[in-house]
Chain A
């Protein structure tokens, strides 16, 4: 795995303002401890002074925060919507990395789909007549079940996925929380770049919008429903056959008293 795929391609990780490390503090306790050489610095009395020193060290840190209002990290969200500053590694919505031509590099390897702990990624491929391999049809990401664990971003060998800061995702229908992330269905960037004819490229790319995934989810749900209905029908059939077998067994028992029918248990 290439090292740069461990983190999302964050533009720049700003170094946070670093406070002086606490060991450097020479508070009142430290001054006393230094001035009195006969105190055993590791013993009980030295421990008291070390405790006092660490208390002063803590007060220095909190006092420093109080004195510098620039350290406040609170965002006043609805008011500062225009100037909102999000942390670089904030995980809000999964997004596809499309290059400047709008091409992506997803090879349909399905590693991310396998790695996702709760099946929040559903990938469908399609056969492409021009190229012998399969290519991406739709990459559906379900915000409603995603745990934002970042695993998919880390495992993707082609650095296709990233988390971006689009966090205003509330909707009134949870079906709208399934997004298709790829902007087109078609071959990867390297294949597209090899095509000379722009018309051929255009023909290879079929546009996808974020909500073409909803249909897929609906289809999945329909499929689940159908499975359930089929299961229920199977159960009912089994029950009916069991009842019929019992009745048959009872009839057989009435006909021939001495021997109970052995099949009665097997059906259940």
Chain B
């Protein structure tokens, strides 16, 4: 299902979207941008909207993952009463929401997170509820960011993987395409209410979209060959190449916390008086504490080991369940690494150090 939406009508469309689902949009802020509730924003004029919403291709620095896989999620609460513990009902899942303006790489990121948190054997209830409650409406990247390399890892600035609806920027209008069944239902619901500014798209519009998408693909600034990595990594575990990052990496959590596919967590009990909550918080394999064992032993004590783990997680032992790496090429870990470590450069280095042998 395809529909066309004139760009100057975007505010109307967003108002409409906010009717039966809560709307979240990518907002520029002092910290490089994040998703925020539409109704909390004070945007009176269109200009504000254009400057504030991040729809052109620059990704929010905090990935969309934090909307579904929160930094801190309460799993359940408990209390001590007359010497007995009582469990309280887990908090209800979120009400239906729509995430508008998800970058295609972030959309693909959810597929990676799904492999861990939505399992055939259960999975993480809080995440699953959030996953079901959120309709993901992506906007293709007209101007990809400085470190984007999505096309090198099976993605595309207009990839629809993991999204329910995808928008393509046609200059003066957006083309809306439904990808999934829920996306289709939602779009037709919108059209019913959006009479007058949401139109059926024609063949010509689809053609324009294809051109725009092709052009955007050419603008992805970085390329690297990842096709040989799976094979190379099979024999690179003990390579010297990992030692090259060790003197630079400071072992912080910036790369993993900003990554749309990093999904490690820790479980903690917060207790205050006779009440408490069990929470799930983000964790990072770049932290030394992550593998600290109670005995005092730490199997990944060195930074080269921890960095290697992150690399192997992205390119070897995890994936999106569809044959692609667990890195979606968003470039955040490159742009924001305080130590200047560049994942693309590392891929090149691993490939050239080990590829020939």
Chain B associates with chain A:
no
Query: What residues make up the interface of A, taking CB atoms closer than 8 Å to B?
Result: none
